[in-house]
Amino acid sequence: MRNINKINYEKHIYPNFKKILDKIYSSKAIREYIYGTLFIKPQNYQISLLDAKNALYSKRVLILENKIISGCFVQDIGNFEVINSIQKFFKDKNIIDICAAPGGKSILLQSLGFNVLAIDKSTNRIRKFEENLSRLNIKMNIQKIDFLKKKFTDKFNSILLDAPCSALGTFRRNPDVSVKVEQSLIRKHQKIQIEMIEKSIKILNKKGFLVYIVCSFHPFETIDVIDKIMQNNKNIKLHTIDSDKMIKRKNGYFINPLSFKDFGGSDIFFVSVLEKLK
Ligand SMILES: C[S@@+](CC[C@H](N)C(=O)[O-])C[C@H]1O[C@@H](n2cnc3c(N)ncnc32)[C@H](O)[C@@H]1O
């Protein structure tokens, strides 16, 4: 058996990993917690969708006991915090989830009372999404669409964009992200993320809300993306999120994994709430 204490992971870490984290998390306590849990496999959680009254994660999360019970969807607790804290912005409960597969956020939204149109371009990921829905015994409108190619005739009031990214924030479950991620790849992600937000803004109604999420803490995919969007779009207002489990940075929020210490930490997500003013 491997002795985890004997492996010197430090030398394998993506050289900029610490530098980037230090930029985002000014609190030493948070940074030390993150470094301390870098290679510790997270506990898994089940989120029950069976009881609508128990909608908050504190009640809904149960420790997984080596099996997925039907009616439950396993996902990181940070995911729930993000969706729970932004749901109030979506006054129109008909929401389009642009990068939806395998369904984590769509399913949470549906369980919170939203009517979700879920789109994704990946056949394989949609298959996984359908398996999840079938296990949960729920239905949802899923469409295989490449968002960047599709010509939309309708406009929307509520858009969720959980964009493709480096997934740096999932380092506990995927330690390879911290060593493999290349600056050039992150730049490519940034280009797509900006393209997706620009297109989302075009199909957003006046007074409509767009929530941008990535499971990354790299400034290129988070703060810089929103900076560029704000420079190009004078009709966008950013909104404040009320959550004691996230930290605010220039134009968005990062999950604070330390606030989930009792649950074994969490993945890191970035989230920004955009309203189209005119
Ligand atoms: C971060 S994952 C989404 C995770 C999902 N929201 C969840 O919570 O389970 C990003 C998704 O974007 C999809 N995607 C990437 N480019 C796309 C495009 N042009 N149109 C639609 N979906 C796209 C990928 O197939 C992938 O499933």
Range of 91's domain? 77-276
Q: Which of 72, 99, 165, 215 is catalytic?
A: 215
Look at residue 201 and tell me if it is in a domain: yes
CATH at 113: 3.40.50.150
The closest of 107, 98, 113, 124 to 200, measured between CA atoms, is: 98
Look at residue 187 and tell me if it is in a domain: yes
Look at residue 26 and tell me if it is in a domain: no
Residue 169 in contact with ligand 1 by CB distance below 6 A? no
Look at residue 30 and tell me if it is in a domain: no
- The model's pLDDT over 68-108, given as tens digits with 9 standing for 90+, comes to 555 667 778 888 889 989 999 999 999 999 999 999 999 88
Residue 125 in contact with ligand 1 by CB distance below 6 A? yes
- C-alpha distances out from residue 114 to 70, 83, 90, 111, 197, Å: 21, 12, 9, 7, 21
Catalytic annotation present for 99: no
Look at residue 62 and tell me if it is in a domain: no
Series of mean pLDDT values for 10-residue runs along the chain (278 residues)? 48 68 91 81 56 42 50 79 94 98 92 94 96 85 98 97 94 77 87 98 98 95 98 98 95 95 87 96
Look at residue 165 and tell me if it is in a domain: yes
Look at residue 67 and tell me if it is in a domain: no
Look at residue 206 and tell me if it is in a domain: yes
Q: What is the pTM of this model?
A: 0.90
Burial code (b: 16+ CB inside 10 Å, e: under 16) for 238-250 equals eeebebebbbebe
Looking at the structure of the chain, the number of domains it has is 1
Q: How far is the CA of 164 from the centre of ligand 1 (A)?
A: 6
Q: How far is the CA of 27 from the centre of ligand 1 (A)?
A: 31
Ligand 1 test: best mutation among 83, 99, 271, most atoms within 8 Å of CB?
99
Q: How far is the CA of 147 from the centre of ligand 1 (A)?
A: 10
How many helices (H) and strands (E) would you count in the chain?
9, 12
Q: Residue 188 and residue 200: Cα distance in Å, rounded?
A: 18
